Chain A
Amino acid sequence: MPFVFRTTKELEAQIDSFLNAVSEGALLYRQSLASYLGGKLEKFEERLTALRRLETKADDLRRQVENHLYRHSLIPEHRGDVLGLLESMDNIINSAKKSLVILSVETPHIPEEWHPFYLELADMAVAAAEQCVLAARAFFRDVRSVGDCLHKVYFFEKEADKIAEQLKRKIFGSDLDLSQKFHLRNAVVHVDALADMAEDSADRLRIYAIKRSP
């Protein structure tokens, strides 16, 4: 029995670390974007490297948790749900990394007057991801409060969509070259993708929470 107890505690710690990594990844994403827009490219690259490390760590933790759950036949009822949840949460940090890598590789020129829109869009997307992490934590400990977090995820995701749409209208209403318009639109889509990933996770969580509720 002590062995099972230790395994359980280790596993709980791993899941917590994984969610911490996702949450930190989202916050780091917001800071990296600010660095990029502020022209501090060195700082931006540093933060991108840190995000890469976080993403790798999250991947490792997710795999360890998956192995543990299956090797010790833990939570047979919810095992599939937990794995699905972790994978969808992992997509959030993957999406953040992908978005920053695109900025790093393509270095789109974003006119200064649109910087606040990009930052606001990132704020909403990060807030959605943050709330999603909170909902995931609640799923493990207090399933009844999952709903409280989920409705905030949906709220922030909708806000992000609105800002993304406004931004796209501004971009395509400007006098920029079409190629640059596409480039800027692409950057918007990638920032907004973070919020979409959070929404996907929230959708899964909603169902899992119903299954878990007594």
Chain B
Amino acid sequence: MILFYLSSGLFLGWSLGGNDAANVFGTAVGSRMVRFRTAATICSLFVVIGAVNGGGGTTQTLGNLGAVDALAGSFMVALAAAVTVMWMTRVGLPVSTSQAIVGAILGWNLFAGRLTDWDSLRDIVLTWVVCPLLAGAIAALIFLLIRFLLSRSRIHLLTLDMYVRLGLLLVGAFGAYSLGANNIANVVGVFVPSSPFDDFRIHGQLLLTSEQLLFLLGGLAIAVGVFTYSHRVMKTVGASLMKLSPEAALIVVLAQALVLFLFASEELESFLQARNLPALPLVPISSSQAVVGAIIGIGIAKGGKGIHYRTLGEIGSGWVTTPICAGLLAFVSLFFLQNVFHLDVAQRLNYCLDQVVIEKLAQQGVTDPGLMNLEGKEYNRAQRLNAELRRETQLDRLQRARVVAAAECVDYRLDPDLIKDTLDPAWFSVEQLAAIDTLTGREFQRAWEFLEALEAETQDWRPQPGHSKAKARNLEAKREYMLRTFRVQDGQ
């Protein structure tokens, strides 16, 4: 059953592998610089490595946008995105998996009555616009640099050919890694909050988290797509659509890989933040649009001839049409799944504003006399509570989001058996484990109450401003793990 639910994501992965691998190795294979088998092997290997190793950042961004928390919902969100991609491709409209999945998640938010994180959405949409521009700028710069170097190197045509061949393999591997890291969120990102897997450990040593296991599966689906479907696409890309010289192809792939990497690398984000530099948001982007941007960048560097401005318009229209199509499709199909097949497409959450919540909000500086009017009322949709808050209070959007988060009611119980059987002592510090032991048997009705109780026991559970990005993310993963593990499921 789990595999059935995952199948839509895997199908999306297969289609991504079939189509987007061509962006990485298409010209190399189409122009016969690299054999398909070599390209497919390198591409698959590095996509999987990229997905498992670097897929966390973009997945978190998608998770912020909307945490699809029921497997059936994840299934339908991924399926809606996949069908949108397939249908738009067939009709000949420009389409991107990233944009389809974002639309589908928004559709789920709307259907499940969850609030959309507008800041995340703004980051995502801005990134889509920036991505082709950045790819174009990078490609133009590299093109000018390479042209300058080549004009002075008097390198033999055949030696150049050999370097380009080698470069296409290396850059292709980097491109595949970046594609895996950036786009795996599109494939299995929506399954992460409802991941059916446990962490994979051998002798207490954590090898792969449940998230990474999902990424591995998604990466393998992409790899299957590369081997089974991408050859034809690569031939088309290499031979007809993009009449690029191998040198230009190398630049295009490098620019695309760099852009995908920039918007996926958590290491780079930490590096920039550690030096007080602005970090790029980690957002899944469209590799095809990065490629088009890079080609246009080279065109401009060459003097601006032969640029198809219509293509730019088509990309722009894709930013709007794809999410709308996927969102509508997701909404309608979720309706059918829930009402015809009686499947839970989202966890049923209740929101209740009681005195405890209002006091907690006051501590956070969120106060409004209108909150008292809502005290004691229960809501089963975040959007309803949000609408009520908008009517009754003067709170702004961010404050309302805080109220909704604080009012969310979920039961947690620190079951002693679960602590013994599930928790891996090797992953937690001694203090953290001691805190869990102290709380054994306790029950909580809200996530923040549970986390506050943990924090009260030891500093090790508390996020500190001085923490490095990696450390903060690690702590966040542990906190989320606790919430996931000790949540009381319906009927328990």
A-side residues, CB < 8 A to B, are: 1, 4-5, 8, 11-12, 15, 73-78, 82, 139-142, 144, 212, 214
- The answer on a CB contact under 8 Å between B150 and A214 is yes
Given known pairs A77-B245, A77-B246, the reply for A140 and B157 (CB within 8 Å) is: yes
- The answer on a CB contact under 8 Å between A8 and B246 is no
Which chain A residues lie closer than 8 Å to B166 at the CB level?
1
- The answer on a CB contact under 8 Å between A141 and B158 is no
Which chain B residues lie closer than 8 Å to A139 at the CB level?
157
Which chain B residues lie closer than 8 Å to A78 at the CB level?
157
Q: Shortest distance in angstroms between B81's beta carbon and chain A's nearest beta carbon?
A: 37
- The answer on a CB contact under 8 Å between B33 and A8 is no
B437 at the interface (CB under 8 A from A): no
How many A-B residue pairs lie within 8 Å, measured between CB atoms? 45
Contacts A4-B165, A77-B31, A141-B155 known; 8 new A-B pairs at CB < 8 A? A5-B162, A8-B162, A12-B156, A73-B32, A73-B33, A75-B157, A141-B157, A214-B146
CB<8 Å pairs between A and B, sample of 29: A4-B162, A5-B162, A8-B158, A8-B161, A8-B162, A11-B158, A12-B156, A12-B158, A12-B159, A15-B158, A73-B32, A73-B33, A74-B158, A75-B158, A75-B161, A76-B32, A76-B33, A77-B31, A77-B245, A77-B246, A78-B157, A140-B156, A140-B157, A140-B158, A142-B154, A144-B151, A214-B147, A214-B150, A214-B151
Which chain B residues lie closer than 8 Å to A142 at the CB level?
154
Of A11, A74, A77, A144, most buried by chain B (CB within 10 Å of CB) is: A77
Q: Chain A interface secondary structure, helix, strand, loop or mixed?
A: helix
Which chain A residues lie closer than 8 Å to B443 at the CB level?
none
Tell me which residues from 231 to 258 in chain B have a Cβ below 8 Å from any Cβ of chain A: 245-247
Which chain A residues lie closer than 8 Å to B159 at the CB level?
8, 12
Which chain B residues lie closer than 8 Å to A144 at the CB level?
151
Docked CA distance A40–B387 (Å) = 110
Docked CA distance A11–B161 (Å) = 12
Q: Shortest distance in angstroms between B287's beta carbon and chain A's nearest beta carbon?
A: 24
Docked CA distance A212–B150 (Å) = 12
Which chain A residues lie closer than 8 Å to B146 at the CB level?
214
Which chain A residues lie closer than 8 Å to B151 at the CB level?
144, 214
Chain A residue nearest in CB terms to B247: A214
> Quick one: CB contact mask for B121-159 with A, threshold 8 Å, 1 for yes?
000000000000000000000000011001100111111
Chain A residue nearest in CB terms to B248: A214
Docked CA distance A28–B372 (Å) = 107
Of B31, B147, B155, B158, most buried by chain A (CB within 10 Å of CB) is: B158
Q: Chain B interface secondary structure, helix, strand, loop or mixed?
A: helix
Chain B residue nearest in CB terms to A137: B156
| 10 closest A-B pairs by CB | A75-B161, A214-B147, A76-B32, A140-B157, A8-B162, A141-B154, A142-B154, A8-B158, A73-B32, A76-B31
Which chain B residues lie closer than 8 Å to A82 at the CB level?
157
Which chain A residues lie closer than 8 Å to B161 at the CB level?
8, 74-75
Which chain B residues lie closer than 8 Å to A4 at the CB level?
162, 165
- The answer on a CB contact under 8 Å between A141 and B156 is yes
Docked CA distance A8–B154 (Å) = 16
Chain A residue nearest in CB terms to B151: A144
Tell me which residues from 156 to 201 in chain B have a Cβ below 8 Å from any Cβ of chain A: 156-159, 161-162, 165-166
Chain B residue nearest in CB terms to A143: B157
Q: Shortest distance in angstroms between B390's beta carbon and chain A's nearest beta carbon?
A: 59
Which chain B residues lie closer than 8 Å to A12 at the CB level?
156, 158-159
Chain B residue nearest in CB terms to A11: B158
Chain A residue nearest in CB terms to B159: A8
Q: Shortest distance in angstroms between B242's beta carbon and chain A's nearest beta carbon?
A: 13
Which chain B residues lie closer than 8 Å to A15 at the CB level?
158
- The answer on a CB contact under 8 Å between B246 and A76 is yes
> Quick one: CB contact mask for B26-69 with A, threshold 8 Å, 1 for yes?
00000111000000000000000000000000000000000000
Q: Shortest distance in angstroms between A192's beta carbon and chain B's nearest beta carbon?
A: 32
Of A8, A11, A82, most buried by chain B (CB within 10 Å of CB) is: A8
Which chain A residues lie closer than 8 Å to B32 at the CB level?
73, 76
Docked CA distance A100–B245 (Å) = 43
Q: Shortest distance in angstroms between A29's beta carbon and chain B's nearest beta carbon?
A: 28
Q: Shortest distance in angstroms between A81's beta carbon and chain B's nearest beta carbon?
A: 10
Which chain A residues lie closer than 8 Å to B147 at the CB level?
214
Chain B residue nearest in CB terms to A144: B151
Which chain B residues lie closer than 8 Å to A76 at the CB level?
31-33, 246
Which chain A residues lie closer than 8 Å to B157 at the CB level?
75, 78, 82, 139-141, 212
Which chain A residues lie closer than 8 Å to B162 at the CB level?
4-5, 8
Q: Shortest distance in angstroms between A5's beta carbon and chain B's nearest beta carbon?
A: 7
Which chain B residues lie closer than 8 Å to A141 at the CB level?
154-157
Chain A residue nearest in CB terms to B152: A142
Which chain A residues lie closer than 8 Å to B247 at the CB level?
214
Chain A residue nearest in CB terms to B34: A73
Which chain A residues lie closer than 8 Å to B155 at the CB level?
141
Q: Shortest distance in angstroms between B68's beta carbon and chain A's nearest beta carbon?
A: 46
Which chain A residues lie closer than 8 Å to B245 at the CB level?
77
Which chain A residues lie closer than 8 Å to B246 at the CB level?
76-77
Which chain A residues lie closer than 8 Å to B154 at the CB level?
141-142
Q: Shortest distance in angstroms between A2's beta carbon and chain B's nearest beta carbon?
A: 11
Docked CA distance A45–B293 (Å) = 65
Docked CA distance A15–B155 (Å) = 15
Chain B residue nearest in CB terms to A78: B157
Chain A residue nearest in CB terms to B302: A214
Which chain A residues lie closer than 8 Å to B156 at the CB level?
12, 140-141
Q: Shortest distance in angstroms between B25's beta carbon and chain A's nearest beta carbon?
A: 14
Which chain B residues lie closer than 8 Å to A77 at the CB level?
31, 245-246
Q: Shortest distance in angstroms between A135's beta carbon and chain B's nearest beta carbon?
A: 14
Docked CA distance A82–B247 (Å) = 18
Q: Shortest distance in angstroms between A208's beta carbon and chain B's nearest beta carbon?
A: 10
Docked CA distance A140–B153 (Å) = 12
Docked CA distance A87–B250 (Å) = 30
Docked CA distance A23–B156 (Å) = 19
Q: Shortest distance in angstroms between A77's beta carbon and chain B's nearest beta carbon?
A: 6
Q: Shortest distance in angstroms between A213's beta carbon and chain B's nearest beta carbon?
A: 10
